[in-house]
Structure 1
Amino acid sequence: MSARVPAWALAAASLLAGCAISPTGVMDGGEPPTGFQPSTRLYFVSDARLRAVSRPMPWPSVRDTLDLLLEGPTSAERRQGLRTELQPGMDTPAEVTSDTARVRITLADPVPVPRESAPVRSRSQNLWLGQLTCTAASALAARSNIDPDAVTVVIRRGRAERLGSFRCSEFPRAPE
């Protein structure tokens, strides 16, 4: 029985001693975690390659995303060396439709399209097509939860002239 007394005494002594951490005041834990925040991807040009820019906003429609693209890079994005190859005067596309993995963009006719783009030769020479393609593909992919490179984008000028059928992976892109 004498062996129990020292064990009990030792337990009581440790409880009375506490954990040796002195009390503090209320501490601020900072901002709460936010988790996943939806964003919209736009593609601009930097060093002859497309570069994705994320804008912190929920997923707008494909048409609304293209409207954002046509507004061009923000001043902060321009300071990072981003520019657009879309021609001044290119207004909102006349028609934008989409289904599961295809976007159809009909540009207003006449639309100021660079001369070197007809016929479409090199993807690196026609980065404005890549901007439209990758931005539209990303917008549809985000809303449909599919890979952007699985989306085909068909671009027409007016009702008569088909500029081509494209996938974002066909255009040179900067590493993300």
Structure 2
Amino acid sequence: MKRLTGLAGVTATGVLDGGEPASGITRGLRVYFVADDGLRPVPRPGPPLKDLATVVKHLMAGPTEVEQRAGLTTLVRGGSYEVTGKGAEIDVQITRVVFDGGGSDELVSGQLVCTLARAQSQLVPGIRPDEVRVTLGNQGPFTCADFRKN
């Protein structure tokens, strides 16, 4: 191996430690879709998130064609709902939401809870997704951890 020496303005150094790997919660919207092995978060880059209703629309829109070919789907198809959030608490009133009959209630609830919890952590500074509690109608409150496999 040939060694470069004498480059102008470059001084030789020993081995440098790069420090610890990046950690912490990543930023940006994640929508949770259903895969064969359970829920899978999928990034949705775009403009800054403004409200929780927009998040549910992303969920109902479903995965892209590429994501569908990778085996992802959504069990929430459409209907009427109202979503309100304050701090680490979210309340979802579902009046006429259509669910795909092929999935379990647990997966449908998990899609909503995990997607909304992630979104609320983006909307409210200082709140982590695992701190958000979501009430679905008269059920809950739930956290995303209630729907994740260990």
Corresponding residue number in structure 1 for 2:60: 70
> Relative to 1, partners in 2 of residues 1:76 and 1:100: Cα closer, same or farther, differing over 3 Å?
same
Matched, 1:44 2:33: yes
Residue number in structure 2 paired with 1:155: 136
User: In structure 1, the residue corresponding to 2:84 is in which secondary structure?
Assistant: strand
The answer as to 2:78 corresponding to 1:106 is no
Q: Which structure features the higher share of strand residues?
A: 2
Paired residue for 2:119, among 130, 139, 144? 139
Query: What is the aligned partner in structure 1 of residue 148 from structure 2?
Result: 172
Q: Distance in 2 between matches of 1:138 and 1:47?
A: 22
| Structure 2 residue identity aligned to 1:171 | F
Matches of 1:69 and 1:133, distance apart in 2: 11
Q: CA RMSD in A?
A: 2.7
Where has structure 1 moved over 2 Å in runs of 4 or more?
111-115
How many residues in Structure 1 have an aligned counterpart in Structure 2?
126
Contact 1:60–1:139 (8 Å) recurs in 2:
no
The answer on whether the counterparts of 2:39 and 2:110 sit within 8 Å (CA) in structure 1 is yes
Q: Name which one, 1 or 2, has greater alpha-carbon Rg.
A: 1
Unaligned runs of 5+ in 2: 1-5, 9-25
Residue 130 of structure 1: aligned partner: 110
Give the % identical residues: 34
- List per-residue Cα deviations over 1:31-61 (Å, max 9, x = no partner): xxxxxx9521100011241110001122231
Structure 1 spans left out of the alignment, 5+ residues: 1-18, 22-36, 118-123, 157-161
Q: TM-score, normalised by structure 1?
A: 0.62
